[in-house]
Amino acid sequence: MRVAPHAKLDDGAFDVVLIGDTSRAEFIAAFPLIYLGKHLSHPKVKVVRATQVRIESLQPEAVAREAEGESLGHAPAEIHILPGVLRVLGLR
C-alpha cells in the first residue's frame, strides 16, 4: 500500500493522510486506489505535513492509531518528529 506516496524518510515531517466522512460503500469502492497511491486525488482525502500531531476524540476507542501498518492503540496521542535521530542506510 502507498498510503503517503510522496512521504520522504529524511525531510523532518510527517505526511498525515486524512479521510473525510465517507460511507462504508464509498470507502470500499475507493480503497483499491491506495495500492497505486492514487487515492490522494479522491475529494475526501487530504494530506497535511506536520512536525507534530495531536489526536483527540470524543470517542477514543473509535479512533485507531496506526503507523507503517502497525497498530499503536487508540486516541488520545501526541506525536513529535525528531529529525536526524535515526540514520538510514542509503540516505544522505
Residue of 73, 78, 69 lying closest to 3 (CA atoms): 69
Grid cell 540516505 in the structure block, residue? 91
User: What ranges do the domains of the chain cover?
Assistant: 1-50, 52-83
Per-residue pLDDT of the chain (92 residues; tens, 9 = 90+): 898 999 988 888 999 999 899 899 998 988 899 998 899 999 999 999 999 999 888 887 888 888 777 888 888 889 999 887 877 777 55
* 45, 39 Cβ separation under 8 angstroms: yes
- DSSP string for residues in 16-70: EEEE-S--HHHHHHHGGGGGTT-GGGSTTEEEEEESEEEE--SSGGG-EEEETTE
Q: What is the pTM of this model?
A: 0.73
